[in-house]
Amino acid sequence: MPRLVSHPDEVKIVSRRFGMGADNIDRYIELGGYEAVKKCIAQGPEWIIEEMKASNLRGRGGAGFSAGMKWSFVPKQSPKPKYILVNGDESEPGTCKDHLIFLHDPHAVIEGTIIAGLAVGAKMGFIYLRGEYRYLLEITERAVADATNRGFLGKNIFGSGVEFQIITQTGAGAYEVGEESALMESLEGKRGIPRIKPPFPAVVGLYGGPTVINNAETIATVPHVITMGAAAYAAIGTPRNGGTRLFSISGHVERPGVYELPMGYNLKKMIYEVAGGIPGGRKLKAVVPGGSSTPVLLPEEIDIGMDFDQVGKAGSMLGSAGVVVIDDQTCIVEFALRTISFYAHESCGWCIPCREGTDWLKKSLTRFHAGFGTPGDIDNIQRTAENILGRTFCPLGDAAAMPTIAFVKKFRKEFEDHLNGKPCPFAREGVPQLTVV
Amino acid sequence: MSPDNPKLESMPVFSPQLAARCDALVQKYPVKRSALIPMLLYAQDEVGYLSDAVIAEVAHRIGITELEVRNVATYYSMLRFKLAGRYNIQVCTNISCMLRGAYDVYERFQEELGIGPKGMTPDGLFSLEEVECIGACCWAPAIQVNYDFHDELKPDLVPGILGQYRKQAQDKGKNA
């Protein structure tokens, strides 16, 4: 069972029921569950969307788009059925928050999905979990069955005459499927390849019907926004960044874990106080602030508030809020190589700049890290990455390029230290390295 | 399926339980084809890998060609076309796990099992592979053995984990 952590600075909203047995439906109801959806049935769709807009809840998957705005784009009348799609494909390295949501509070996801359905007039919702999360899929399936047995899902939810049902789905191992249109392809039983936009999912989505697709954390937040009121929720965060965020803090910290902190919480404080600082008296070298696809920050750049706008201003992204902390004994070239290896593995192959570019970068960095680099490689690595940027259907290409560019720009000296047949200065003991023959 | 062995052809590919599960799956979605990926995964769980017979059976049940099934199946990293060990050990070495010693854990597994990356022990009990992020970054380094997570690993914990699965296999053998 993944370890739960806590810190006095936390504001527990989404994680309020973690560790309280709320995967049991009776316990969930005892803890105030399924009240928000009743309120929504009474208030009607327009009220829900206005509440959501006023809450400043922005998408927790990484793009940070206003959830209320997204919902408002769905046409009121549609000849095709409308769908709600919950993205639980959580695969961004450094991010493990949805893992805990499905483990501890699956009914919050179900309740949020019903509310989204009420808001846009959909009768069916899908919860898509990555294939590796089989035990979480089983927990979620049980929760859906329990909710259906109580009449919270079905032809006549809560006796309101409204129909809504939820279908669970499993992936089978693919990072790319976390991209919204690729996820729809996967759910339709196809290869997870992105679709060109427009049309956007709100108009043409799953099975060609208007579709709202939200991250699991966004959906799990919805019932809390309704219960506490949009104004109260928005007041917790910073302007335009409502509420709290589940920060997955990992890497070289004393107390890694998923912490729920207000939007805009200081990153430096997050690392040194909340997560207990760097172990073993080592120093901070770099921080990846929002999952592996976000550009790295230097120690002097981390005195910032963690919300979408402030991290953006610092030249990176809040992304999925996966904070990866790197100490001074880590080789950045190796870290960059491990990062790009992931994207090379996960590129779906649809767009040539991404398919070929990530593979080239992986090969260049492998050779470079082994001590066979040439001075021209450093600029070449940067240029290759820059040529992927913005030239792909989906953001995977950018996700691979952005961190690579930042590693080269911010740690050029360390790249140069690897040059001229020198092996990695940080080589771990016992790890064989190529030597110049 | 071997054309030289007609006996194999007449054998059911799926157990009654799996067949029933597949029957339910094709009813579950608004469009039948949505059942494809879960069906492949559940079939693999039972059979061990996507054999030609499994592909043919799934194609028949969904109502698409075997080629279409293969086209989809080859995209997903969890789906495999070769047998893995009874316990497939998947060591995450992505950034968060790497920073906390995942490669040391991976090496220890290789030493203890006497096999290399993507290898399988001669008794077929264990196979070993390096995988991408499994969503356990805050409890790193982490591995999955089949679908079970093991968090906060150290190389010294490796023999104990292997012992636990060896015992599980023995106990199941006794009951069988």
Burial (0-12, 13-18, 19+ Cβ within 10 Å), A217 = buried
Cross-chain Cβ contact B152/A250 below 8 Å: no
Out of A96-100, A376-380, B169-173, least confident range: B169-173
pLDDT of residue A436: 45
Q: What is the ipTM of this complex?
A: 0.94
A174/A207 same-domain check: yes
* CATH class of the region B87-175: alpha beta
Nearest residue on chain B to A337, alpha-carbon basis: B95
For residue A88, CA distances in Å to A95, A137, B82 come to 12, 10, 28
Cross-chain Cβ contact B76/A173 below 8 Å: yes
A130/A257 same-domain check: no
Task: Please choose, from the candidates A424, A334, A416, A405, the residue with its C-alpha nearest in 3D space to the C-alpha of residue A374.
Answer: A416
Q: Residue A411: give the domain boundaries.
A: 332-417
Three-state DSSP state, B89: strand
Q: Give the helix/strand (H/E) hosting B17.
A: helix B16-28
Would you state the structure tokens that stand for residue A226, as one six-digit string? Answer: 């309704």
A102/A226 same-domain check: yes
On average, the pLDDT of chain A sits at 95
Q: What is the pLDDT of residues B91-108, one digit of tens each?
A: 999 999 999 999 999 999
Out of A58-72, A128-142, A260-274, least confident range: A58-72
- Distance (Å) from the C-alpha of residue A231 to the closest C-alpha of chain B? 32
**In this complex, which of B95, B103, B149 lies closest to A94 when CB atoms are compared?**
B95
pLDDT of residue A428: 59
- Is B116 an 8 Å CB contact of chain A? no
A371/A281 same-domain check: no
Q: What is the pLDDT of residues A91-115, one digit of tens each?
A: 999 999 999 999 999 999 999 999 9
Q: What is the pLDDT of residues A216-275, one digit of tens each?
A: 999 999 999 999 999 999 999 999 998 999 999 999 999 999 999 999 999 999 999 999
pLDDT of residue A431: 46
Mean pLDDT within A174-201: 96
For residue A385, CA distances in Å to A51, A65, A401, B23 come to 41, 26, 5, 47
- Distance (Å) from the C-alpha of residue B12 to the closest C-alpha of chain A? 24
Q: Are strands B126-131 and A265-266 parallel, antiparallel or unpaired?
A: unpaired
Would you state the structure tokens that stand for residue A195, as one six-digit string? Answer: 């679709």
Q: What is the pLDDT of residues B41-94, one digit of tens each?
A: 999 999 999 999 999 999 999 999 999 999 999 999 999 999 999 999 999 999
CA dihedral B93, A392, B76, A203 (to 10 degrees): 130
SS (H, E, C) A156-181: CHHHCCCCEEEEEEECCCCHHHHCHH
A49/A114 same-domain check: yes
**In this complex, which of A187, A250, A252 lies closest to B137 when CB atoms are compared?**
A250
Would you state the structure tokens that stand for residue B147, as one six-digit string? Answer: 């679908």
Is A431 domain-assigned?
no
- Is A217 an 8 Å CB contact of chain B? no
How many percent of chain B have pLDDT more than 90? 90
| Contact criterion met (CB below 8 Å) for A345 and B130 | no
Is A428 domain-assigned?
no
Q: What is the pLDDT of residues B103-142, one digit of tens each?
A: 999 999 999 999 999 999 999 999 999 999 999 999 999 9
Cross-chain Cβ contact B37/A186 below 8 Å: yes
- Is B46 an 8 Å CB contact of chain A? no
- Is A284 an 8 Å CB contact of chain B? no
**Is a pLDDT exceeding 70 seen at residue A425?**
yes
pLDDT of residue B2: 47
Residue type at A155?
K
**Is a pLDDT exceeding 50 seen at residue B1?**
no
CATH number of the domain that residue A106 is part of: 3.40.50.11540
- Distance (Å) from the C-alpha of residue B64 to the closest C-alpha of chain A? 11
- Distance (Å) from the C-alpha of residue A99 to the closest C-alpha of chain B? 7
Question: pTM score, two decimals?
Answer: 0.95
Out of A1-5, A419-423, B40-44, least confident range: A419-423
Residue type at A28?
Y
pLDDT of residue B173: 80
A278/A404 same-domain check: no
Bridge partners (DSSP) listed for residue B60: none
Q: Tell me the chain A residues in contact with residue B50 when contact means C-beta distances shorter than 8 Å.
A: none
**In this complex, which of B37, B75, B100 lies closest to A170 when CB atoms are compared?**
B37
> What CATH topology corresponds to B12-73?
Arc Repressor Mutant, subunit A (1.10.10)
- Is A310 an 8 Å CB contact of chain B? no
Which residue of A96, A274, A337 to mutate against B (max B Cβ within 10 Å)? A96
CATH number of the domain that residue A248 is part of: 3.10.20.600
A179/A250 same-domain check: no
Residue type at A372?
F
Q: What is the DSSP string of A79-137?
A: SSPPEEEEEE---STT--HHHHHHHH-HHHHHHHHHHHHHHHT-SEEEEEE-TT-HHHH
How many percent of chain A have pLDDT more than 90? 92
CA distance A121 to A269: 43
Mean pLDDT within A53-75: 94
Q: Tell me the chain A residues in contact with residue B28 when contact means C-beta distances shorter than 8 Å.
A: 167
Q: What is the pLDDT of residues A296-339, one digit of tens each?
A: 999 999 999 999 999 999 999 999 999 999 999 999 999 999 99
**Is a pLDDT exceeding 70 seen at residue B9?**
no
User: Number of helices (H) and strands (E), helices first, in chain A?
Assistant: 17, 10
**pLDDT confidence band for A423 (50 / 70 / 90):** low
**In this complex, which of A124, A173, A330 lies closest to B78 when CB atoms are compared?**
A173
Among the three residues A272, A294, A321, which one is the final residue of a domain in this structure? A321
A205/A294 same-domain check: no
A137/A62 same-domain check: yes
Q: Is the peptide bond before A199 cis (omega within 30 degrees of 0)?
A: yes
A287/A228 same-domain check: no
A356/A231 same-domain check: no
- Distance (Å) from the C-alpha of residue A289 to the closest C-alpha of chain B? 12
Among the three residues A201, A220, A236, which one is the final residue of a domain in this structure? A236
Nearest residue on chain B to A350, alpha-carbon basis: B75
CA distance B41 to B147: 12
Among the three residues A203, A236, A269, which one is the final residue of a domain in this structure? A236
Residue type at A38?
K
| Tally of domains in chain A | 3
**In this complex, which of A2, A191, A338 lies closest to B94 when CB atoms are compared?**
A338
Q: A 157-216 residues with CB below 8 A of B?
A: 167, 169-175, 186-192, 207
Beta-carbon pairs below 8 A across chains A and B: 153
Domain boundaries, chain B: 12-73, 87-175
A217/A277 same-domain check: no
